[in-house]
Structure 1
Amino acid sequence: MLAKTSPVPHPLRVLIIAEAANPEWVSVPLVGWSLARAIGRKADVHIVTQIRNRDAFLRAGLVEGRDFTAIDSETVARPLWTLGRLLRMGEGKGWTALQLINALSYPYFEYLIWKQFGPLLRQGKYDVVHRVTPLSPTISSPIARKCARIGVPFVVGPLNGGVPWPKGFDAERRREREWLSYLRVVYKLMPGRRGMLRHAAAILVGSHHTRSEIPSRFQDKTVYIPENAIDPDRFNARAAPVKDVLRACFIGRLVPYKGPDMLLEAALPLLQTGQLQLDLIGDGPLMESLQRFVADHGIESAVTFHGWMDHTKVQSVAAQSQILAFPSVREFGGGVVLEAMALGLVPLIVDYAGPGELVKPGTGFKVPIGPRDQIVAGFRDSLTELAARPEQLTRIGENARNRIEWFFTWDRKADQVLAVYDWVLGHRSDRPDPFAATENSRKDTG
C-alpha cells in the first residue's frame, strides 16, 4: 500500500541505507555513494553505511552523526567475509559466492540499523527509507516489513544482477569460478525476499532482466531506472578527433567474459595494416596471454597496455580515442559505457544486458550476442566499417554525450528517484516511469 499523507511542511527527510558506499572505490560502492550524495543535494538525507566506509566519508568532508552513521556489523561480517574469500577461489572471481555471503551477513546489519533508528522512525523523523545498496535482488531487507507496520514508505533499489551467462560461454563461466550461478534461481525461494517485495512501497530495478524476475503481483510498484550514472566533474574531457589513424580503447578487467582477447582477434587485420591503434586500460589474469598474442603477431607498435589506472585518471587515456571497443558478454550495469559516452567516445558493444540497454540508435553500435566466433566477426566488421568511414564518429560521439547529459548524470538520477518518493508519499497519483518519460521528451539523433 502507498502511504497517503499530506505534503510535508519541511524538506523531504530520507534515511538512505547504503551498506556499500565509498567515494574512493568503484563499482557498487561508488554507485551507493554517488546516488546517496546526489539525492542529498535535493533532500535532507542521512546515510547509514557500514563501518568500513567511515574513514572515506570523513575524508570526503561528511560529518558523522549529522550526515551519516557508520554501523559496526563486523562481528558477523568479518568471519563471513573470510569464508567468502575462500569460496571465491581467486581475487575478483566467484561473485555469486560473494553475494551468498552478503545475503547471510546483511540481515544483521539491518538489525543494528533498526535498533538505532527504529525509535526515530516511529517518531516520524524520516519521511522515506530507501535501501540503495546492496544492489543484488538476492539480498532481502527485513526493515521493509517494519517500515510498513509504522507507515513509513520503504523504497528498495535499483536492484540489478543475475543476468544469465549467454550460451557458448561456459568455459568463461567456469574460469570465473561461477559454480553457484548454476543454482542462482534458488534465491527466489530464500526467506525474506517475497516479504521485502510485498512490504516495499516501490521497487526500483536497474535492468529489464531484473524487472522480469519481479513477480507479476508486484509489477505495479516496480519502476525501471538504470543503476549507473556519471559525475560530469570526473568525466569532463572530450574525445580526440580522428587524425591519421583511428584509435579505440578497452576499459575493464582483463578477464575472459569481458572479451579483451576477442577484441584483439577482431581488430588484428586493422592493427597489422596500421589502420587502428588500440589502448587496453586494465589488468587481470589475461594480461600475459594478451601480451603474448600481440608479440606473436608483431603488432606491438599498434597496441598499448596501460595496466591498472586510478579511476580518476582513466579519461586522460580514453579521451585520446574515438571508440570504446567493449565486447563484454555479461555486464549488469555497464557503467564504463556511460563514462566513455560522456567523453564523446562511440561505444561498440555486445547487445546484451546492461550495455545493450544503454546504447540507443545513433549513439553507438551493437553486435548481436552469439557464439564467440560470431562476436569476433561482428566486431571486426564494425571496426573495418568505422576505419573506412571515420567521419561519422564525431556526430555519433556528440549524440552519445547528449544522451548522457539528458538521462545519465547523478543529478538526473536523483530527480528520477525523487519522483518515486513523491509517488509513495501520495503527492502524485500516477506511478512515475521517469526513464521512459525523459526518453520520450527528447529523441536521439543520428
Structure 2
Amino acid sequence: MKVLISSPFVDREAVGEPRWCYDLFQGISAKVDTILVAQTPVNRSYRLAEAFPHSQVFEFEAWKLAFLSRRLNALVKPNYLKFYGFARDVIRHQVAPASIACGHHFGPLGMRYPTPLQGTGIPYVMGPLGGSLPFPPGFSVTGRTDPWYYRLRDFDGLRFRFDPLLRGSYQEAAYLVGVAGYVEMLLASAGMKLKRFVTHSEIVAPLQTEHVEDIVAARASRPGPVRFLVVSRLIYSKGVQFALSALAEAQHRLPDWRLDVLGDGPHRQALQEQTTRLGLDGFVRFHGHVKRSDVDAFYRDADVFLFPSVREPSGAVIFEALSWGLPIIGARYGGPANHISDAYGYRIPVDDVATFEAGLADAMIALATSPQKRQTMGRSALDAARTQHAMPAMVDFFLDLYRQISHGAGGR
C-alpha cells in the first residue's frame, strides 16, 4: 500500500504542530510505503529527503518573510499558498495517482487551508482539524486585549459557507478527522455534507524519561501546599481570570495552596491586577515565559493541572499534563470536552461565567482536599498517556483508515 502524505510544515527541531507532523510521518513511513510533499524546514541544517531516505520526498524552499511578526506569520501561514501550488504540480506531473492507495493531508490544525489532494482522483484522509471555535454563549468578549490579527479567525465561518476550495476539500475527503465533535457541527452548520467523520486528537502525550509512576505515588504524602499549575499564553480566551475568581471564592474551603502560572501574553497585567484585587498575591505567582527545559520541573512538582480555557480547539498542554500523571480541570467545551476523561479530570460546564467559576471552585476543592482522589486520577492520567494518547496508537488509528480506503470504504 502506497500513501501520499501532504503535510506542509514538518520539522523535527520545532515544537508544536511541525514536530507533531514530523513524528506522525515518521511513524507512518515505518509501516507503509510513503510519498511526502512538504516545505523544507526553515533555518535548519537538514532536508527532509535526508531525514526520510526510504520515502519519496518532494520539498520546496519557503519564502523569506521577515517583515511579518512571528505570531502573525503563525496565524496566517503565507507559505501555505506556495505549498499548495507546489503540491498540486507534484501530484499532477511527478507521481502516478493510480499507484497510490490513498492520500493523507495533515497540518496545519486550523480549519482554513484547502488540501491539494482535492480533485486529483486520490481518495484521502484529511485531519486532524480543529479551530474556528466560537466563544460559548454567555461569555462576554468585552475588554479583550488580544492583538488585532487574532480577530481574523472570526472570518472562518464565512469561508466555510462560500469558499469552494475549502468546502470541496472537506466534502470530498473519504474521512475527515476532527479533534472533537464540534468540528462536524461547525461544518454541518455551514451546509457541508461530509462522507465520514471521526475524531482523534492531533497531539500525543510525550514520553517522560523520569519514573513518573513514582512521582505520582509520592504526591499523596508530599508535605507543603497543594500546588495548582497553569501553562498557557495569557490571553482572554485561556480563561485564567476565571480560575483566579474561582480560587478567591474557594479560598476559605481550601487547604494551603499555591498557583504557578507559566506563560506570557497581552492579558498578563490585567491578571496580575486581578490577583491583587482578590487578595491572592501571597498564593499566586506569575513566572512569565519559562524555558522549555525548565517547564518539566513545574509539572513534576504540581498536584493539579488547571486548564480553564473557554475557547480551546484542542489543547496540547492537556497531553503534557497527562504524561506527568496530573489530574486536570478544564471546560466541557471544544477540545477539552473530548480530551479530558472523567477518569482523570473534571469537565466544567460553560453555561455562563458564574456557573463555570463555581464549577472550577468545586473541582479544585474536591481535588485539594483528597490526596487519594488526586493519586487515583493521576494514575489514570498516566495510563491514558501511555496507551490511547501515545504515538503508536495514533499511527495505528490512521493506518486503519488507510486500509479501509484501500479496501474500498470511501475510496475511488
TM range (shorter): 0.7 to 0.9
RMSD over aligned Cα, in angstroms?
3.3
1:267 alignment partner in structure 2: 247
Comparing 254-263 with 63-72, greater Cα deviation is found at 63-72
State how far apart, in whole Å, the 1-side matches of 2:79 and 2:71 are. Answer: 20
CA drift of 1:306 comes to 2.9
Is 1:359 aligned to 2:340, yes or no?
A: yes
Alpha-carbon distance, 1:337 to partner: 1.0
The match for 2:219 is 241
Q: Give, in whole Å, the separation in 2 of the partners of 1:421 and 1:413.
A: 13
Match of 2:175 in 1: 202
Q: What is the 5 A alignment of 1:208-287?
A: 208-215=181-188, 218-233=193-208, 237=212, 238-239=215-216, 241-242=219-220, 243-244=222-223, 245-268=225-248, 275-287=256-268
1:109 — aligned with what?
83
Q: 2:308 aligns with which of 306, 327, 331?
A: 327
For residue 417 of structure 1, report the CA deviation from its aligned partner. Answer: 0.3
Aligned counterpart in structure 2 of residue 414 of structure 1, from 379, 386, 395: 395
Q: Distance in 2 between matches of 1:44 and 1:355?
A: 34
**Contact (CA 8 Å) 2:124, 2:173: kept in 1 or not?**
yes
Q: Using a 3 Å threshold, how does the CA distance of structure 1 residues 418 and 59 change in structure 2: closer, same or farther?
A: closer
What's 1:393 paired with? Answer: 374
Alignment partner of 1:19 is 2:8: yes
Quick one: distance in 2 between partners of 1:274 and 1:292?
Answer: 24
> What is the aligned partner in structure 1 of residue 356 from structure 2?
375
Q: Pick from 134, 159, 176: which aligns with 2:108?
A: 134
Query: Any conservation in 2 of the 1:58–1:64 contact (CA below 8 Å)?
Result: no
Distance 1:234 1:224, change over 3 A: farther
| Corresponding residue to 1:145 among 106, 110, 119 | 119
TM-score (norm 2): 0.84
Offset, 1:327: 0.7
Distance 1:349 1:42, change over 3 A: same
Residue 174 of structure 1 and its aligned partner are, at CA, apart by: 6.5
In the alignment, is residue 186 of structure 1 matched against residue 161 of structure 2? no
Instruction: Go from structure 1 to structure 2 and tell me whether the alpha carbon gap of 1:24 and 1:259 turns closer, same or farther (over 3 Å shift).
Output: farther
Which residue is equivalent to 1:72? 61
Give the one of 137, 156, 161 matched to 2:131.
Answer: 161
Comparing 350-359 with 52-61, greater Cα deviation is found at: 52-61
Question: Residue type matched to 2:245 in 1?
Answer: E
Q: Is the 8 A contact 1:20 1:49 kept in 2?
A: yes
Give the distance between the partners of 1:358 and 1:235, measured in 2 at CA.
24
CA distance in 1, matches of 2:171, 2:268: 46
SS at match of 1:407: coil
8 A contact 1:110–1:143 mirrored in 2: no
1:312 Cα deviation from its structure 2 partner: 4.8
Q: 1:300 to 1:339 in 2, by over 3 A?
A: same
After superposition, the C-alpha distances for 1:226-252 in whole angstroms (9 at most, x for unaligned) are 222123247864445132321110011
Aligned residue for 1:261, secondary structure, equals helix
Contact 2:41 2:48 in 1 (8 A): no
| Cα distance in 1 between the residues matched to 2:292 and 2:234 | 16
Distance 1:61-1:317 versus aligned 2 partners, 3 A rule:
farther
Once the two structures are TM-superposed, the CA of residue 67 in structure 1 deviates from its matched residue by 6.6
Change (3 A) 1:312 1:413: farther
Q: Distance in 2 between matches of 1:236 and 1:41?
A: 28
Cα deviation per residue 1:35-80 (whole Å; 9 max; x = unaligned)? 22222232233433223447275599715795744312528xx49x
Is contact 2:104–2:126 with CA below 8 Å preserved after alignment? yes
Residues 264-295 of structure 1: CA deviation (Å, up to 9, x unaligned)? 23223666876112111112223334344445
Instruction: Single out whichever of 408-417 and 228-237 deviates more from structure 2.
Output: 228-237
Corresponding residue for residue 40 of structure 2: 51
Structure 1 gap segments, 5+ residues each? 1-11, 86-90, 432-446
Indicate whether 1:170 and 2:141 are aligned: yes
Give the partner amino acid of 1:389. S
For 2:23, the aligned partner's letter is S
Alpha carbons of structure 1 residues 118 and 218: separation in structure 2 relative to 1, 3 Å? same
- Cα separation, 2, equivalents of 1:108 and 1:31: 21
Whole-angstrom distance in 2 between the partners of 1:73 and 1:93: 16
Q: Which stretches in structure 2 are left out of the alignment for 5+ residues?
A: none
Secondary structure in 2 matching 1:170: coil
- Are the structure 2 counterparts of residues 430 and 193 from structure 1 closer, same or farther at C-alpha, using a change threshold of 3 Å? closer
Give the drift of 1:112.
1.2
**209 and 299 in structure 1: CA distance in 2 versus 1, 3 angstrom threshold:** closer
Tell me how far apart the structure 1 counterparts of residues 359 and 71 of structure 2 sit (CA, whole Å). 28
